[in-house]
């Protein structure tokens, strides 16, 4: 079932776009392709309407920033990043991100098929008909596992450093943030990675946030603006900050694959060898020492 209607553009423009996508797919499928050169060549054409070599002569500053070897990503500064895997996907992530700044990326009839092709060469796995709208960010990309018919809407952050699974028919709405790493309260550099799982047909609705290690079951829903710290059972609707499952969809029984009560949870991996042990609880409840001060009151502590 869908509420989307087909939209067609000028046949000539569509043919040009389809040729471009087919050519991109073919070149990426060739193991001999130099991904850095491919990405900078496409960007020079899309952004400045000329060949990369010409752009280098005309506007070196612009050209240098199209070559992913001259660019850094936040993930490159993380200890947890597999530098070899990242180097392989980096030119394609740079192409994805930078095309989003151009009409090519902002135009869904071209941008979505281009991203579908790029995802096939960046993600650990991607199923059929992946539909990703513009301005979506990943941490490393290579830890994304995506099923069939998954949709990711605009301005989403998919922090996949610890792994994200988006199962078949899952939908991630605008401005959602899904994390897979967390920092200790007392020591920022003490980082734990945990795979975050979004089940089949689950809907993560606008402006919500999911913290590392949560398992959202099949057909579950996270309400708008919610903050999910743990799990949602099948068909559950979790709301609020922090989110609690307070409603269930009225549904006939159906088979469930991702059920948070049985699905394997990621116990977590430490990302920094300086902190090899599991991080203990590091917060306490307030007591009388923490009572709000009355106006003018001075408290001696120690
Ligand atoms: C959660 C949601 C589905 C509403 O479900 P519902 O059961 O039809 O909602 P109701 O309006 O009957 O509200 C039920 C209760 O949930 C509360 N509630 C609804 N949305 C909430 C939200 N986002 N956060 C916190 N509480 C919420 C209501 O205040 C109400 O509380 P009460 O029982 O104490 O009065 C909806 O608010 C929501 O977040 N929708 C997301 C939008 C969406 O579909 N986005 C997808 C785009 S692809």
Q: Indicate the pairing of strand 144-146 with strand 164-166.
A: parallel
- Better-predicted residue by pLDDT, 290 or 52: 52
Q: Check pLDDT > 80 for residue 300.
A: no
Average pLDDT of the chain, as a whole number: 96
Ligand 1 pocket test: pick from 223, 238, 248 the residue with the most ligand atoms within 8 Å of its Cβ. Answer: 223
Specify the ligand 1 atom closest to the Cα of 237: 1
Average pLDDT over residues 83-97: 98
Q: What is the C-alpha to C-alpha distance for residues 138 and 181, in angstroms, rounded to an integer?
A: 13
Q: If you measure from the C-alpha of residue 201 to the centroid of ligand 1, how many angstroms do you get, rounded to a whole number?
A: 18
For the segment 233-252, what is each residue's pLDDT rounded down to a tens digit? 999 999 999 999 999 999 99
| Secondary structure (DSSP) of 168-204 | TT-EE-TT-EE--EEE-SS-TT-EEE--EEE-TT-EE
pLDDT of residue 299: 57
Average pLDDT over residues 199-214: 98
Q: What is the CATH number of domain 124-278?
A: 2.160.10.10
pLDDT of residue 290: 87
pLDDT of residue 3: 86
Q: How many CB atoms lie within 10 A of CB 171?
A: 19
pLDDT of residue 70: 98
pLDDT of residue 262: 97
Q: What is the C-alpha to C-alpha distance for residues 40 and 66, in angstroms, rounded to an integer?
A: 5
Handedness of CA 241, 245, 247, 251 (dihedral sign): positive
Show the 3-state SS of 140-168: CCCCEEECCCCEECCCCEECCCCCEEECC
Break the chain into its structural domains and give their ranges. 13-122, 124-278
Q: What is the C-alpha to C-alpha distance for residues 101 and 110, in angstroms, rounded to an integer?
A: 13
pLDDT of residue 292: 77
Q: If you measure from the C-alpha of residue 170 to the centroid of ligand 1, how many angstroms do you get, rounded to a whole number?
A: 19
pLDDT of residue 294: 72
Average pLDDT over residues 53-65: 98
Residues with CB under 6 A from ligand 1: 171, 173, 203, 205-206, 223-226, 237, 239-240, 247
For the segment 1-52, what is each residue's pLDDT rounded down to a tens digit? 678 899 999 999 999 999 999 999 999 999 999 999 999 999 999 999 999 9
Q: Whose CA is nearest to atom 17 of ligand 1?
A: 239
Share of the chain above pLDDT 70, in %: 98
For the segment 91-146, what is each residue's pLDDT rounded down to a tens digit? 999 999 999 999 999 999 999 999 999 999 999 999 999 999 999 999 999 999 99
pLDDT of residue 114: 98
Specify the ligand 1 atom closest to the Cα of 206: 45
Q: If you measure from the C-alpha of residue 6 to the centroid of ligand 1, how many angstroms do you get, rounded to a whole number?
A: 30
What's the pLDDT band for 296 if we cut at 50, 70, 90?
confident
Q: What is the C-alpha to C-alpha distance for residues 238 and 4, in angstroms, rounded to an integer?
A: 26
Q: Which two tokens stand for residue 166?
A: 């988006």
Q: If you measure from the C-alpha of residue 255 to the centroid of ligand 1, how many angstroms do you get, rounded to a whole number?
A: 25
Q: How would you class 269 by CB atoms within 10 Å of its CB: exposed for 0-12, middle for 13-18, buried for 19 or more?
A: middle
pLDDT of residue 302: 43
Closest CA to 64 of 75, 48, 52: 52
């Amino acid at each position: 079932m869908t509420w989307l209607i087909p939209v067609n553009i000028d046949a000539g423009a569509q043919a040009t776009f389809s040729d471009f996508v087919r050519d991109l797919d073919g070149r990426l499928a060739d193991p001999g392709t130099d991904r850095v050169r491919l990405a900078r060549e496409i960007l020079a054409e899309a952004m400045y309407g000329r060949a990369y070599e010409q752009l280098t002569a005309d506007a070196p500053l612009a050209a240098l920033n199209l070559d992913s070897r001259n660019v850094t990503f936040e993930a490159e500064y993380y200890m947890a990043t597999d530098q070899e895997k990242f180097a392989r996907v980096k030119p394609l992530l740079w192409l994805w991100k930078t095309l989003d700044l151009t009409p090519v990326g902002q135009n869904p009839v071209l941008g979505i098929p281009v991203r579908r092709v790029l995802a096939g060469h960046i993600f650990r796995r991607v199923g059929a008909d992946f539909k990703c709208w513009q301005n979506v960010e990943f941490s490393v990309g290579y830890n994304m596992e995506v099923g069939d018919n998954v949709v990711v809407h605009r301005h989403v952050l998919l922090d996949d450093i610890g792994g994200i699974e988006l199962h078949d028919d899952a939908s991630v709405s605008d401005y959602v943030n899904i994390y897979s790493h967390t920092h200790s309260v007392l020591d920022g550099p003490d980082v734990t990675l945990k795979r975050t799982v979004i089940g089949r047909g689950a809907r993560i609705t606008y402006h919500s946030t999911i913290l590392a290690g949560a398992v959202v079951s099949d057909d579950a829903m996270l309400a708008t603006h919610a903050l999910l710290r743990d799990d949602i059972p099948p068909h559950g609707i979790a709301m609020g900050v922090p989110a609690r499952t307070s409603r269930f969809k009225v549904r006939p029984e159906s088979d469930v694959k991702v059920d948070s009560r049985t699905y394997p949870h990621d116990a977590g991996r430490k990302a920094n060898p300086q902190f090899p042990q599991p991080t203990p609880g590091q917060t306490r409840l307030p007591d009388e020492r923490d009572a709000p001060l009355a106006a003018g009151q001075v408290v001696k502590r120690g």
